[in-house]
Structure 1
Amino acid sequence: MAYQALYRKYRPSNFDEVVGQQPIIQTLKNAIVQNRIAHAYLFCGPRGTGKTSIAKIFAKMLNCEDESNKPCGKCTNCKMVQNGSHPDIIEIDAASNNGVDEVRNLIDKVKYAPMQGKYKVYIIDEVHMMTTGAFNALLKTIEEPPAHVVFILATTEPNKVIPTIISRCQRFDFNKVSQKDIEKRLSIVCKEEKIEIDPEAISLIAQLADGGMRDSLSILDQCIAYCSSNITVDNVREIYGVLTTSDIGKLFEHLYAHEVDALIQQIQECSDKGMDLKRLTSDFITLLKESIILDYSSNSQLVSNTHKEVIEKYLLKSPSPFRFNVLNELMDVFNKYNYASNVLDYLETALLKSISNSYEIKSKTTHDVIEDSDRENKENFAKSSDLSYDLTSEKSEIDKKVPKNSENTGISELETISDVSRETLKEVGNKDSKIILNDEYILQLLVGANKTERKIDTAKMDERNMYLADLEYAKYANSLRNIAIVASGDKYIVVAVRSELEAKEINEMQLTQGFEDFMEQVLGKAKKIFAIDHIQQTRVLEEFKERMIQGTLPEPVDVIISRSNSSDKEKKLSEEEQMIELFPNIEIVND
């Protein structure tokens, strides 16, 4: 007997053998039990997910002679369906029978009663290939077919099926089969075929199949032909041009060490060997993601032991912000591959860019490049600078220290707005009206800031103008009308304004009344506001760059949130009292 491909040999003969699609299977089973058989079904979804197989099993169930156990697989109808000789189960390939004449021929035969079974079932595969004329010719028949006819339309592109056809069918959307289900099925097939295969090889085949059970069996078939009866993960990688995790680890090692020649040479060697660079990027992203998981949970079961060994050997030597940076660059370039003229150049450029955007971690701090922010500030101050500073690697957490005196905090004539008691601040404020944050303290705030936090705050702060007419928050919203967010931490925001006078007023307001309640209203969390003018902002950014290169950036400051009692008082005031407090000269007249 001629050799039969695995995907044909192991095609499911009943619903229990189908991998995945449980909601669809249960619905069809219930339809049989309750005798609620629709006249037309539309099966749509990715290739290799079981559309045609389930259609055949359903057709077998409709014609099975055993009323208690469908499909029984033993009756005449079941056996005829199984070997493809049932006269009432008609499979039509719409790709080659897509014209009006073919459809009219089909319609002429529909009216005839079944020859063998109870139902005449038409399975039309790749139905989206039919012409508009053919669809229109089929329309009336699909809407009102004879009682003994059931249509099952299968397609990978339901968007190409005309709406009038879709509206006349029960639609079932097939999902990609999960990797876990594919791995389980492949293990069963290998056991049946007496094939020895590594678990890592099964996992890689499942990944390469991308949710298609049929594709996974075809890949396995090819691997068996290459390796006979013993398949390793390296064999699969050789066949499909996929790098090992160790190779990716070495690639990252060159990247972190800034060994550009070795890095580019390794990538070009992979390209010369015909390796799939898109797959390489995807695997690189997965490995970096898993390294971040291990940063948070070193005993996580989400990462395989093989990957853990590679990650611990190559990736965990670098701080997590560096890995995040590489991860962002690879995710960005991955989306560009579809229209890239040369994938190799795109990949090399992305990795070189990730090197240029990083620097050796010193003083337990890291940040993203800020040159763009300087340029934006000079060109247009109204736009907030693209400044961001990420915390250190979670594996070496910063011991945040609270400054104990005015010399250490870096605040001129104010001591500190972050962690000294409000009473002390009021005393200082009474002694001298200059509320100016000096450069050293701003540097401490910037070092402890976070890029993600800044993006979130910038988006939400656009809504602050909604409070300009609010009695309770109008003065806060008005004072922040012309700000640009420079940096954001978990408990504070550094903002820039045009003049030193505006900065003093905002700092005075933070000192005496506090922005915490207003920030909680706008951002969803209480935060302090620290204001600087445009000149100081430019100066601090320049100093930050210089000290970043020298590795002399200060420790981040710990900002403590202490709510102002004055805001609680305001909440208790009536509307009239609030109006009088906001506008002392106003006269309220009762109608």
Structure 2
Amino acid sequence: MKKQNLEYIIQHSLEQNKINHCYLLKSYEKVNFDKSILFIINALNKSNLKNLNQENLPANIVVFNKSDNGNLALEKEEIVKQFELTSLSTFQENQYKFLVFENIDQASNAALNSLLKTIENPSKNVIFILTTNKFNKVLSTIKSRSMIINIPSTNKKEIEKELLNNNLSPRESYLFAQIFTDTKQILSTIKPYTLDTFLELKNVVENSFKNPYFLYAYLIQYLKKDTKQDFLNLIYALKYFYSLSWNVEKNEDEELKNLAKKMKNANFDLYDCFIVLSDFLNNQDSNLNFFLQAEKMLIKLMEIYV
């Protein structure tokens, strides 16, 4: 079957004059969907929007998510309000109204019920764009009413280039591009000291081959409310370090190449460690107590070591 990417699907829809009223963009990693969302909006409305900050958007583009960047919350009341405004408002001729729901898997049941009713009977010229990094948690009724498009993770070289353009050092740009999958995530979470902590962690990992509790002691000091993001960043870095054991030749950093060679001689299963960290990161947005889950994750890690 021919691989159909986002650009092909949208361009083909325009050529055939068959625009879908609901697009579900999915990825299994922490991919930033902004470029894909902007591509759909700009292609269908023949516009040239540069970002999705609500204060900069025209009235016919509304973004719902759970962040604090000025966009609207994924709650029933706000969704119903916008639906009502959509049915009452008139916009520029040949312009679509876009309702963007980021992280649709995190919406409340009440919000999803309101959304489903509207998707089933959409207003004229209204297009829904939904995104998710957890496709398995999206309701089947949402999936069945949507054009589902897979969005691949950004090329690491592209991320590195973007970071360099944002004035990060060459080493920061290279290492962060290996560890994370999303430029937006990197720029919003890293601190001036992040690179130093990652390099400290590298040394701790090397020492943990002799005594695993060096690693536990290092990580646990960051498991506090005011350093929660630092802890998460370290877990992403640690996950990457474990993966070096099966990606030795792909690394351009000599220090990391040396770490990878040492890891290949480890007397415990590095892949099991990788899976434990992946499971924790994939479930960090659940309703479970974050700090309790993090402590359990660290204990599992120590059990693999010993």
Q: TM-score range by the shorter chain?
A: 0.5 to 0.7
CA distance change for structure 1 residues 160 and 98 in 2, over 3 Å: closer, same or farther? Answer: farther
Q: Quote the offset at 1:143 in angstroms.
A: 2.6
Aligned to 2:183: 213
**Bigger relative CO (Cα 8 Å, ≥ 6 apart):** 2
Provide the C-alpha distance between the structure 2 equivalents of 1:350 and 1:81, rounded to a whole number of angstroms.
43
CA contact (8 A) 1:340 1:346 kept: no
Aligned to 1:111: 87
Aligned to 2:64: 92
CA contact (8 A) 1:91 1:124 kept: yes
Q: Quote the offset at 1:170 in angstroms.
A: 0.8
Provide the C-alpha distance between the structure 2 equivalents of 1:51 and 1:329, rounded to a whole number of angstroms.
34
CA distance change for structure 1 residues 29 and 49 in 2, over 3 Å: closer, same or farther? Answer: farther
Structure 1 residues 108-132: Cα deviation after superposition (integer angstroms, max 9, x where no partner): 3333463225222222334344444
Q: Quote the offset at 1:284 in angstroms.
A: 5.0
SS in 2 for 1:27: helix
Aligned to 1:204: 175
Equivalent residue in structure 1 for 2:201, among 243, 251, 255: 243
Provide the C-alpha distance between the structure 1 equivalents of 2:201 and 2:51, rounded to a whole number of angstroms.
46
Equivalent residue in structure 2 for 1:45, among 27, 32, 37: 27
Corresponding pairs, count:
273
Please give the TM-score of this superposition, normalised by the length of structure 1: 0.38
Provide the C-alpha distance between the structure 2 equivalents of 1:40 and 1:96, rounded to a whole number of angstroms.
19
Aligned to 2:271: 331
Equivalent residue in structure 2 for 1:29, among 6, 11, 35: 11
Aligned to 1:152: 129
State the AA in 1 paired with 2:175. L
Q: Quote the offset at 1:279 in angstroms.
A: 5.6
Higher gyration radius (CA): 1
Gaps of 5+ in 1: 1-21, 65-70, 227-234, 294-299, 354-591
SS in 2 for 1:141: helix
145-154 vs 268-277, which moves further: 268-277
Structure 1 residues 252-276: Cα deviation after superposition (integer angstroms, max 9, x where no partner): 8xx5xxxx5xx46854774576596
CA contact (8 A) 2:242 2:273 kept: no
CA contact (8 A) 1:107 1:138 kept: no
State the AA in 1 paired with 2:196. E
Structure 1 residues 115-171: Cα deviation after superposition (integer angstroms, max 9, x where no partner): 225222222334344444444444343234243222222334444443223212111
SS in 2 for 1:111: helix
Equivalent residue in structure 1 for 2:41, among 59, 65, 78: 59
Equivalent residue in structure 1 for 2:99, among 92, 112, 122: 122
SS in 2 for 1:28: helix
SS in 2 for 1:154: strand
SS in 1 for 2:201: coil
CA distance change for structure 1 residues 138 and 289 in 2, over 3 Å: closer, same or farther? Answer: closer
SS in 2 for 1:243: helix
Provide the C-alpha distance between the structure 2 equivalents of 1:137 and 1:105, rounded to a whole number of angstroms.
11
Aligned to 1:174: 151
Aligned to 1:285: 242
Provide the C-alpha distance between the structure 1 equivalents of 2:144 and 2:176, rounded to a whole number of angstroms.
38
State the AA in 2 paired with 1:208. I
Coordinate RMSD, CA, aligned: 4.2
State the AA in 1 paired with 2:132. T
CA distance change for structure 1 residues 62 and 243 in 2, over 3 Å: closer, same or farther? Answer: same
Structure 1 residues 406-433: Cα deviation after superposition (integer angstroms, max 9, x where no partner): xxxxxxxxxxxxxxxxxxxxxxxxxxxx
| Identical-residue share of aligned pairs (%) | 21
CA contact (8 A) 2:212 2:302 kept: yes
Structure 1 residues 48-93: Cα deviation after superposition (integer angstroms, max 9, x where no partner): 52324432342233222xxxxxx4x4xxxx5998872422223334
Provide the C-alpha distance between the structure 2 equivalents of 1:303 and 1:281, rounded to a whole number of angstroms.
15
Provide the C-alpha distance between the structure 2 equivalents of 1:203 and 1:52, rounded to a whole number of angstroms.
22
SS in 1 for 2:56: coil
Q: Quote the offset at 1:306 in angstroms.
A: 0.8
SS in 1 for 2:118: helix
Gaps of 5+ in 2: 67-71, 223-229, 281-292
CA contact (8 A) 1:88 1:114 kept: no
State the AA in 1 paired with 2:173. I
CA contact (8 A) 1:88 1:120 kept: yes
CA contact (8 A) 2:273 2:301 kept: yes
CA contact (8 A) 1:113 1:148 kept: no
Provide the C-alpha distance between the structure 1 equivalents of 2:296 and 2:109, rounded to a whole number of angstroms.
39
Aligned to 1:536: none
Provide the C-alpha distance between the structure 1 equivalents of 2:137 and 2:103, rounded to a whole number of angstroms.
10
Provide the C-alpha distance between the structure 2 equivalents of 1:309 and 1:127, rounded to a whole number of angstroms.
39
State the AA in 2 paired with 1:214. K
Aligned to 2:254: 306
CA distance change for structure 1 residues 214 and 47 in 2, over 3 Å: closer, same or farther? Answer: farther
Provide the C-alpha distance between the structure 1 equivalents of 2:216 and 2:188, rounded to a whole number of angstroms.
29
CA distance change for structure 1 residues 186 and 25 in 2, over 3 Å: closer, same or farther? Answer: farther
